[in-house]
Amino acid sequence: MTPGESWASNISWIVPVPPIEKTGTERSGTSDLAIILDHPKAQNMPGIDFDRLRREISMEQVLDLLGFEPTQRTGAQWYGACPLHGTSSGRARHFSVHIAKRRYCCHKCGSQGNQLELWAAFTQTLMHPAMIELCHALGREVPWIRRW
């Protein structure tokens, strides 16, 4: 190739590209989270103290975020429509939650676990990003595990 051609064909690389303006404000609440998750070094992010979240975040808090309305309560055992697979039946009770034990189980879609796993299943993300999002949604700090 000739030097002239090379210069001409590569000139677009030299012209700085203006930064893409963010439009709208609908993502303003999660913009910092999006930056974290889009970061190329996200794999090297510090760990999250899941045990602490499991102790400190109640099942009611997660159910509240999911907009879950129990159709029946028997002590600490609540029943209702599954927020995961979706149902329109107002009297559904195939989804059962034990508030004190912080466990849930859906007899239709088979999903089960603790309150953190319920949130991860609802957001359809892995535990790590799901817990960051949950902390943001609850307005609390992410309990990072410092490894240094």
Q: Which residues bind Zn ion (CB under 5 A)?
A: 82, 84-85, 106, 108-109
Beta carbon nearer to Zn ion, 63 or 106: 106
Enumerate residues 6+ apart whose C-beta is below 8 A from 81. Answer: 69, 71, 87, 89, 90, 92, 93, 94, 95
Beta carbon nearer to Zn ion, 55 or 108: 108
* Shortest distance, position 50 Cβ to Zn ion, whole Å: 23
Beta carbon nearer to Zn ion, 30 or 125: 125
The residue type found at 145 is I
* Shortest distance, position 38 Cβ to Zn ion, whole Å: 31
* Shortest distance, position 94 Cβ to Zn ion, whole Å: 7
> Are the C-beta atoms of residues 53 and 143 closer than 8 Å to each other?
yes
Structure tokens at 87: 């149902």
- First-to-final CA distance of the chain: 51
